[in-house]
Amino acid sequence: MVEKVITLENIPLAEFLGVENRNINAIAAAFPQSRIVSRGDEIRIKGQPEEIVKVNQLFHALIEHFQQFGRLTEENVASYLNQDEERHERHEREDVILFGTRGVVVKAKTANQQRLVNAAKAHDLVIALGPAGTGKTYISVALAVRALKNKEVKKIIITRPAVEAGESLGFLPGDLKEKVDPYLRPIYDALDDMVPPEKLKFYQENRIIEIAPLAYMRGRTLQSAFILLDEAQNTTPSQIKMFLTRMGNDSKAIITGDTSQIDLPRHQHSGLVEALEILKEVKGIGVVKLDAADVVRHRLVRDIIGAYEKAGK
């Protein structure tokens, strides 16, 4: 805990603190985690730094009010406290990307995740790089759903390359959809948090939300759409070029990938790695890099990623 001292200069203490100290008591009640006491012409605040900043700002606003109007009533104090709460709530609402299902609130949890949100606002095409668990796919899906809800786009297209990571698609049971759905499961999991089941079913049946392997994108021009390419490190150079040229008017795209987990055959180059080099001089493309510090899964995941990065170096 830290302490902050505010000196009341040329201000009658009794008038500022209110009858029976009701003004300062109301402030103390609004900040129960801090200790606020008056001694002589000083007000001492003890608490956590974040809350002390808020209390300090409030007192300086009240001091300015007293100096301007010559009085400070309980109603004035209540009004300033309400304004502070409204500012806090407004700030919280601005941070929220999306209010999902079952009480889920989706928002950036790290500085780099917030950079991804900001980059998506500023650019029509964003490339988000980072290891597993950093939230790059989850945040991207949330941004797409928000854009659809806000009628900024008419549809969402989410795609992944169906790369065989250890198992052959041909040996998986079922039809083509059943074969590729396991590769798209992380996308479905994210959407389950963000869109009610009935609405998600309606969106998919009416092709407002499409989730499909990357090969299905060939030959299409995607107008007024939010397009997400996930696991882009497993695209070939021709595949990622094909994806990049699908963007139509009023469309936005986010490409996510982890260049440390490429599952392509050894002789095949990653389209994502090549694209980063080819497109580095193209203006209007945002690139955001996330790292182990952004991992929002189990704490061990962060340590595991760090250990592998260290071993790789």
Distance in angstroms (rounded) separating the CA atoms of residues 248 and 244: 10
Query: Same domain, yes or no, for 210 and 274?
Result: yes
Range of the domain at 45: 2-95
- What is the band of 171 on the pLDDT scale with cuts at 50, 70, 90? very low
Q: In degrees rounded to 5, what are phi and psi of residue 4? A: -125, 135
Q: Is 222 helix (H, G, I), strand (E, B) or coil?
A: strand
> Which residues make beta-bridge pairs with 96?
107
44-62: pLDDT as tens digits: 899 887 788 888 888 888 8
Residues 170 and 251 in one domain: yes
**Residue 236 has what pLDDT?**
92
For 250, other C-beta atoms within 10 Å of its C-beta total 13
- How does residue 167 score in pLDDT terms, banded at 50, 70 and 90? very low
Which contiguous run of DSSP H or E holds residue 87? helix 74-95
Mean of all residue pLDDT scores within the chain: 84
> What is the C-alpha separation between 141 and 209, in angstroms, rounded?
11
Does residue 257 carry a pLDDT above 90? yes
Between residues 283 and 79, the one the model is more confident about: 283
Task: Please check whether residue 162 is in contact with residue 214, taking contact to mean a CB–CB distance below 8 angstroms.
Answer: yes
The last residue of one of the domains, among 76, 95, 114, is 95
Q: Looking at residues 271-300, what average pLDDT do you find? A: 87
Least confident of 72-81, 93-102, 269-278: 93-102
How does residue 94 score in pLDDT terms, banded at 50, 70 and 90? low
Q: How far from the centroid of its chain's Cα atoms is residue 115's Cα?
A: 8
Residue 172 confidence (pLDDT) above 50: no
Same domain, 33 and 112: no
**C-alpha–C-alpha distance, residues 158 and 161, integer Å:** 11
Q: Are residues 43 and 180 in the same domain?
A: no
Q: pTM value?
A: 0.65
Give me the number of domains the chain comprises.
2
The candidate with the shortest Cα–Cα distance to 155, out of 235, 232, 248, is 248
Q: Are residues 88 and 106 in the same domain?
A: no
Q: Report the share of the chain in percent with pLDDT over 70.
A: 88
pLDDT in tens, 7-36: 888 888 888 888 888 998 999 998 888 899
Burial class (CB in 10 A: 0-12, 13-18, 19+), 191: buried
232, 240 in Cβ contact below 8 A? yes
Residue 70 corresponds to which tokens in the numbers above?
């010559």
For residues 86-110, give the mean pLDDT. 72
Q: Is 37 helix (H, G, I), strand (E, B) or coil?
A: strand
CATH code at 239?
3.40.50.300
Whether 241 and 271 have beta carbons less than 8 Å apart is answered as yes
| Token pair for 244 | 């990049």
CA nearest to 26, candidates 1, 62, 53, 50? 62
- Whichever domain contains 24, its CATH number is 3.30.1370.10
